[in-house]
Amino acid sequence: MKRRSWAEPYKIKMVEPLRMLSKKEREKAIVEAGYNTFLLRSEDVYIDLLTDSGTSAMSDRQWAGLMLGDEAYAGSRNFYHLEETVQNIYGYKHLVPTHQGRAAEHMISKILIKEGDFIPGNMYFTTTKLHQEMAGAKFVDVIIDEAHDPNSEYPFKGDIDLNKLQALIDKVGADKIPYVAMATTVNMAGGQPISLKNLKALRKLTQKYGIDIVHDMTRVAENAYMIQQKEEGYQDKTVAEIVKEINDLTDHATMSAKKDALVNIGGFLATNDPNVFQEARNMVVVYEGLHTYGGLAGRDMEAMAIGIKESVMDDHQRARVGQVQYLGDLLLKAGVPVVKPIGTHGVFLDAKAFYPHLSQDEFPAQTLAAELYVDSGVRAMERGVVSAGRNKETGKHNYPKLELVRLTIPRRVYTQAHMDVVAESVIDVYENAKNAGGLKMVYEPKYLRFFQARFEKL
């Protein structure tokens, strides 16, 4: 058969030069950063796969949108454009903009949670869980078991185990469960999608008990693309249609627009509940700014409105997720242990399998991220015991089953050649894995420790 390749649905108009330090300089830089890739200077990084958050490339339309910023304190034109976009594309009735996702998480947690409540969710996310806990709730993981197994090839590892949810309802009572926290896609599981079949069943169960669904819609369009590719009955639907169908099954949403929505800063809280809207609109003036800007400039809201529309286009998602799959396939072919199947926003290396000689107390994922940086200047992120933090009651480390390093791909930023360089470096680090020693933590911040913790070599 004749080969028919496809390529990105855009061409490059502006470039940003990259710098590569020598190996000696990188060795020095990682020591100075306390073996924490969050503490490296970006100038010292060659290919930056720390996160896909706020790191995507905006389109020329979005840049043009910045010039249309209406910087009025109240009632900015760009707010109304954003509001209309959220209503039309996402389908939620009410919008409260915020400077990023966690500000929306803060508000919805405060509004819906009472002290002593339980919040079930499809695996935790760092900031989401922290805000739930700070509002007085206990997070309960109800994701399917497959999500905790890096080798399970189940296509919808973001699905919720309804038996686990039912067991929680039976144990604590539905009145202690204000909502289920449902994320599209599940970041900590490796960027794994939830299926619409599962979400529909979840909706049925929660409605029976009067429990709401709060949708962490940070990567909803990527999730929709995976449904189109893999879930029976959705092959002829567009990403935009699937996004709408997902959202229509939920009550409220928090959004980090720094991911799917292709902006460098921005987020929002959306809801269909007029009472929640009233309260959030009131609360946002305390923490963020007036309800028509929520901590954002008018121009940021304009870029977000345009980015949301671009994010649900099929050809955009094919190239975005396709690039992630390309990197994943290179590593799979080389026999590198990665979370399977490959998710939508990054490739997750299984650090436990890289370093079977290291215990979780020696921080294998933190070690792997540091080794990768020293090898090639590629910056990745730890998603293991450091990210999981400590148990609120016992003060002991949480030991997650998944001890991962995330190679997160920014949208529309790097080329296929960059992916080749990354794969070659990961393969080298894997081949030298037995020489790696672990780390010890020498400074530990109280909240979200992975951002600022410091380490030394054992």
Residue 100 binds ligand PLP, judged by CB under 6 A = yes
Q: Which amino acid is at 448?
A: L
Q: Which of residues 164-223 bind ligand PLP (CB under 6 A)?
A: 183, 187, 216, 218
247 near ligand PLP, judged by CB under 6 A: no
Whether 44 is catalytic is no
CA 97/CA 99 separation, integer angstroms = 7
Maximum separation of any 2 CA atoms in the chain, in Å: 63
Establish whether 73 is a catalytic residue. Answer: yes
Q: Counting beta carbons within 10 angstroms of the beta carbon of residue 354, is it exposed (0 to 12), middle (13 to 18) or buried (19 or more)?
A: buried
| Annotated catalytic residue within 73, 209, 399, 447 | 73
Q: Compute the distance between CA of residue 165 and CA of residue 143 in angstroms, rounded to an integer.
A: 9
Q: Which of 267, 295, 298, 364 binds ligand PLP (CB under 6 A)?
A: 267
139 binds ligand PLP, rule: CB under 6 A: no
Interface segment toward ligand PLP; rule CB under 6 A; list 5-13, 14-22, 124-132, 242-250: 124-132
Minimum CB–partner distance for residue 105 and ligand PLP (Å): 6
- Per the listing, tokens 């072919």 go with 333
User: Binder to ligand PLP among 127, 198, 311, 367 (CB under 6 A)?
Assistant: 127
**Only segment of 18-26, 135-143, 251-259, 270-278 that touches ligand PLP (CB under 6 A):** 251-259
Residue positions counted in the chain: 458
- Among 113, 325, 134, 343, residue whose Cα is nearest residue 218: 343
Query: What are the respective helix, strand and coil percentages of the chain, to the nearest 5?
Result: 45, 15, 40
The residue count for binding ligand PLP (CB under 6 A) is: 15
Tell me whether residue 85 or residue 218 sits nearer to ligand PLP (CB atom): 218
Q: Which stretch binds ligand PLP (CB under 6 A): 63-71, 99-107, 325-333, 448-456?
A: 99-107
Q: Which two tokens stand for residue 366?
A: 């933190």
Part in contact with ligand PLP (CB under 6 A); list of ranges 62-70, 122-130, 135-143, 401-409? 122-130
Q: Which of 52, 159, 212, 216 is catalytic?
A: 216
Residues 439, 37: contact at Cβ < 8 Å?
no
* β-pairing verdict for 179-183 and 138-141: unpaired
Q: How far apart are CA 94 and CA 221, in angstroms?
A: 20
- Close Cβ partners of 81 (under 8 Å, ≥ 6 residues apart): 301, 302, 305
Among 26, 94, 102, 244, binds ligand PLP (CB under 6 A): 102
Instruction: Select 212 or 222, whichever has its Cβ closest to ligand PLP.
Output: 222
CA 184 vs CA 59, 160, 242, 375: distances in Å: 24, 11, 12, 33
Verify whether residue 412 is a known catalytic residue: no
Out of 40, 48, 49, 53, which residue is the one contacting ligand PLP (CB under 6 A)? Answer: 53
Which CB sits closer to ligand PLP, 259 or 412? 259
Instruction: Reply yes or no on whether 125 is catalytic.
Output: yes
CB of 128 to ligand PLP, least distance (A): 5
Catalytic residue among 383, 406, 411, 449: 383
For ligand PLP, the closer of residues 100 and 425 by Cβ is 100
Identify which range of 28-36, 82-90, 157-165, 252-260 contacts ligand PLP by CB under 6 A: 252-260
Reference 90, options 264, 242, 280; nearest CA is: 242
β-pairing, 381-383 vs 378-379, is unpaired
- 359-418 residues in contact with ligand PLP (CB under 6 A) are none
The active-site residue out of 90, 125, 373, 455 is 125
Residue number closest to ligand PLP, CB atom: 101
Q: Which residues of 396-428 are buried (b: 16+ CB within 10 A; e: fewer)?
A: ebeebebbbbbbbbbbbbbeeebbebbbebbbe
76 near ligand PLP, judged by CB under 6 A: no
Q: Which of 373, 383, 386, 391 is nearest to 428 (CA)?
A: 373
What is the nearest approach in angstroms of ligand PLP to the Cβ of residue 53?
5
| Cβ contacts of 87 within 8 Å, gap of 6 or more | 93, 95
How far apart CA 117 and CA 139 sit, in angstroms, is 9
Helix or strand (DSSP H, E) at 455: strand 454-457
Among the candidate windows 234-242, 254-262, 353-361, 378-386, which touches ligand PLP by CB under 6 A?
254-262
The residues assigned a catalytic role are 73, 125-126, 216, 259, 383, 450
What does the binding site for ligand PLP look like in residue numbers (CB under 6 A)?
Answer: 53, 100-102, 125, 127-128, 183, 187, 216, 218, 256, 258-259, 267
